[in-house]
Amino acid sequence: MTESYRPKPGDRFFRPLRIKRLRLRRVLGVAALFSAGYGNVGSSIYYALGIVALVALGATPVVLGIAGILFIFTALTYAEGTAMLPEAGGSASFARHGFNDLAGFAAGWALMLSYIVTISISAFTIPPYLGFFWEPFKLSPVLGTLTSMGIVGFLMVINIVGIKETSFLNIGAAVLDITTQVTLVVIGFILLFNPPVLFHRIIDNWPTTGNLVFGIALASIAYTGIETMSQMAEETKQPEKKVPRALIMMIVAVLVIFAGISLVSLSAMSPQELASDWARDPVAGIAAKLPIALLADVLKPLIALLAGTILLIATNAGLIGISRLAFSLGSHKLQPAILGRVHQRFKTPYIAIIIFGVIALIVLTPGFFHANAFANMGALYAFGSLLAFMFAHASILSMRVRQPKLERPFKLGWNILIGGRELPVSAIIGLLATTTIWIIILITQPYSRWVGLIWMVIGFIIYYFYRRKANLGLTRPAKAWATAERGRAKFPNRE
């Protein structure tokens, strides 16, 4: 008899998901949730600063601050939704319950795009940090892009084979990451922070209104991790309590560290330098500008190794997220079952890993020849993530109206009464803001507009033919549709 595997807290989110049952075991606590979420957010610190500076220039700290407020509203929305519906799926699950299956698919398909771009952009920023050890990694677009594609290909194989990795590595990496970032912020404020210089760099390099708004949209990439934590609700002990706690912890940690690093970075270098020489490795740029040579010599290799490790984990987390999301969508009949098919030997959703991993490789290909590849990836991520956030906010508001008596272990405060229903102000503002920014991206950014719309159209075509072949309605929940069909078969003359 083979010995059964008992996961340690946190195992489920780090190692490739092995799907054997429809119900996942609840083994995760607050520490595992926080480390998973911060693993994504912490990784984005290593590139978000540079990608925002490409368009926001001197307003980068302001843009990150505005996006941080929207991040708070969105995190609170996810806290209420996840505590109320502790199942895998995130915004797709909220939309399915708040509206219908079609809305659930649309949110899930948009979220799938953001996961794909997370894989691409995380892998794309690993080579510049490794450039500390070998400069061509940073200077050669061809070598850097090939390396990024090789990393994605390697992780695809790892996730298909299903090699187990302990959660302690992920939690340890998150702790080391936070420690290093806080240390860098403290040292930076002591040695680099210069309010007069910072003020002039902000005022003298203020962007156009269009770039300011676009910068806010790009800054959404800095606050990833919300969906990751929501996706893990089905594997969390007492999710109605622990998911909101972990989300609030992440809000505090992320806002403090991002505010510190953005202010230190613009004290250390000009916006133009940040957006050019250090666009893909901005944290390395801060370490390189430290005036004490010995301190810089210690921090530069440490940041290079840590950034490479964290970004590798984030790339892998994107693949795992796709596996979990594909399983969730498939289990609710929102996509063809083949995308969630499990390998007979390795017990991993290999079809989803291969298909979406290959798409992530395609997203990387402009890195060979297109100077704007980095910013385009950010805009494409914003297209998918903001659309998913829009569905999340709208779904919470819809459930407040349509299902007011539904148990809400974590209920948002600051409500206004409309039509006898309590509607949270934070969700209303979040919906209006994310919708406005998404529409502006749609109008002003041709790359993300066409790639994003083509992605959504392809998804709706797949959904339409799949549901039609399966004799399911486009909007009605699959279970309700099946129940109605059985009723008609049993009582054919009943209207």
Highest mean pLDDT among 136-140, 247-251, 328-332, 490-494: 136-140
Query: pLDDT-based confidence at 171, cuts 50/70/90?
Result: low
Cα-Cα end-to-end distance for the chain: 55
- Judge whether 67 and 219 are in contact, CB under 8 Å: yes
Say what the pLDDT of residue 20 is: 42
pLDDT tens readout for residues 402-459: 998 888 888 888 899 888 889 999 999 999 999 999 998 899 899 999 999 999 999 9
Residues 6+ apart with CB under 8 A from 376: 366, 370, 445, 447, 448
- More confidently predicted of 113 and 239: 113
Residue 68 has pLDDT above 90, yes or no: no
Say what the pLDDT of residue 442 is: 92
- For range 12-39, the mean pLDDT: 56
Least confident span in 10-19, 206-215, 218-227, 442-451: 10-19
- More confidently predicted of 457 and 324: 457
Residue 352 has pLDDT above 90, yes or no: no
Residue 146 has pLDDT above 80, yes or no: yes
Say what the pLDDT of residue 438 is: 93
315, two tokens: 């790339």
- More confidently predicted of 100 and 476: 100
The correct answer on CATH 2.40.50.90 for the domain covering 27-441 is: no
Residue 109 has pLDDT above 90, yes or no: yes
Residue 18 has pLDDT above 90, yes or no: no
Query: pLDDT-based confidence at 19, cuts 50/70/90?
Result: very low
474, two tokens: 């486009």
Highest mean pLDDT among 205-209, 234-238, 294-298: 205-209
Q: What is the mean pLDDT of the chain?
A: 83
Residue 8 has pLDDT above 80, yes or no: no
Going from the C-alpha of 253 to that of each of 47, 190, 229, 318, the distances in angstroms are 17, 20, 15, 21
153, two tokens: 């290909």
